[in-house]
Structure 1
Amino acid sequence: MSILYWRLFLARFFRSPLQIGSVIPSSQKLVQAMLSPVPWNQIDTVVELGAGTGVITQALKKYHKPGTETFIFENDPVLQSLLRRRYPEFHFASDAAMMDTVLSQQNMNGSDVILSSLPFSNFSIDSRVRILDQICDTLKTDGIFIAYQYSQHIKPLLQERFQEVEIRWVPWNIPPAFVYICRKPIPEGT
């Protein structure tokens, strides 16, 4: 990542620290921990939440097979504009709580994988719940949700929603991070 992107990321962090969540972009070790659990040859639809300057987005382009529909959600208008220019083949939206609407407008009936860099700890409990509910509603039955966080505060909310929650520790990131790999959303009413 060029120095220009680092400066932009830092400037956006200081403008809106609760939205950005970190002073520097994710390390390559963290990106690898996020992407390695995904069976990319079986993936037709990908959603990325909180793309920032596009560290994970750039790797997504390399990993996924041709024809994979990719939806990038980034709330910061400056960062989203940058990403739109770099990745014109992807679909873009702002509000992660509108995932189901955005996908259905593109005639998609769910996502095979959802990757999240959203700083859930900085969100109100209502926002966390609303976004996690959208993730469960949008994720296909055999889909996978992967998120990184700097604490384990979100673990109980994930365990309420997924049958399988695996946690991996990534010390080679600033700050060190937990990667949550979640499978099989629990059906409503159980």
Structure 2
Amino acid sequence: MKHLTFLFQYIVNPKTVGAILPSSSFLGDKMIEHINFDNAKYIVEYGPGTGVFTEKLLKKRNPNTIIMLLENNEEFYLLLKEKFKMEKNLYIVNGSAEKIEQYLQKYKVPYADYVISGLPFASLPEQVSHNILLNTSKILDKDGQFITFQYTKMKKALIEQFFTKIEIKRELRNVPPAYVFNCSIKEKNVEENYGIENSYCG
């Protein structure tokens, strides 16, 4: 049933949904493999869709960890509200990731340790992508990570404008195969003192 829902939403909203099928469990595992669930206090997910990544986050998180889901598609939002209605410390917001700062303030979330994203930057308007990445870099904790997947590397240069370290891994067991971008911002003094390169690519 969720596959049919996803396919219909792709037909109606191809630029914001970005794929004809939900992400695979294999891709989900790769998206969360670097999350320190013992220490993470706040996790944000952009574009959770039918909740493939969300289920994994909820299963592994510390019960006290707050998770915020930001879903712009109303049908997916309603599906998520019903699917996860019994979960504690979970906020589900129907809105744009461009306004993440506003939503964090509303729910008194001071920052994000991790931001997980299923947004298709390749098909979003350039300015929208710019705003989302800029605001994401603002809300992350100093050791925070932005983790996104894309079907090509064409937006790597755009993401590098906001994140100084990017590690990329490929997941072939997805339709279509995807690249996972693990992004962070290194402190200036580390770059200067140790001369570490600005970008890493798998």
Asked if these proteins are the same fold (TM beyond 0.5), I'd say yes
Larger Rg: 2
Q: Supply the distance in 2 between the matched residues of 1:130 and 1:38 (Cα, whole angstroms).
A: 24
- The equivalent of 1:5 in structure 2 is 2
Q: Which runs of 5+ in 1 are unaligned?
A: none
CA contact (8 A) 1:161 1:186 kept: no
- The equivalent of 2:77 in structure 1 is 80
Q: Supply the distance in 1 between the matched residues of 2:124 and 2:187 (Cα, whole angstroms).
A: 23
- The equivalent of 1:59 in structure 2 is 56
Tell me whether 99-108 or 84-93 shows the greater mean CA deviation.
84-93
Aligned-pair distance for 1:102?
0.6
Matches within 5 A, 1:173-184: 173-184=174-185
Aligned-pair distance for 1:136?
0.4
2:155 aligned with 1:154, yes or no? Answer: yes
- The equivalent of 1:138 in structure 2 is 139
Structure 2 length as normaliser, TM-score?
0.88
Please give the secondary structure, in 1, of the residue aligned with 2:161. helix
Matches within 5 A, 1:98-137: 98-137=99-138
CA contact (8 A) 1:162 1:186 kept: no
CA contact (8 A) 1:49 1:72 kept: yes
Specify which of 21, 26, 30 is matched with residue 23 of structure 2: 26
Aligned-pair distance for 1:157?
1.7
Q: Supply the distance in 1 between the matched residues of 2:154 and 2:48 (Cα, whole angstroms).
A: 21
CA contact (8 A) 1:71 1:92 kept: yes
Q: Supply the distance in 1 between the matched residues of 2:48 and 2:99 (Cα, whole angstroms).
A: 16
CA offsets 1:35-87 (integer angstroms, 9 cap, x no match): 00111111000000011111111111101111111100111111101101122
Structure 1 length as normaliser, TM-score?
0.93
RMSD: 1.3
Q: Which has a greater percent of helix?
A: 1
Matches within 5 A, 1:154-173: 154-173=155-174
The 4+ residue runs of structure 1 with deviation greater than 4 A are: none
Number of aligned residue pairs: give it.
184
Identity of aligned residues (%): 28
Q: Supply the distance in 1 between the matched residues of 2:13 and 2:107 (Cα, whole angstroms).
A: 30
Amino acid at match of 1:58: E
Please give the secondary structure, in 1, of the residue aligned with 2:146. strand
Aligned-pair distance for 1:163?
2.2
- The equivalent of 1:45 in structure 2 is 42
Q: Supply the distance in 2 between the matched residues of 1:64 and 1:154 (Cα, whole angstroms).
A: 30
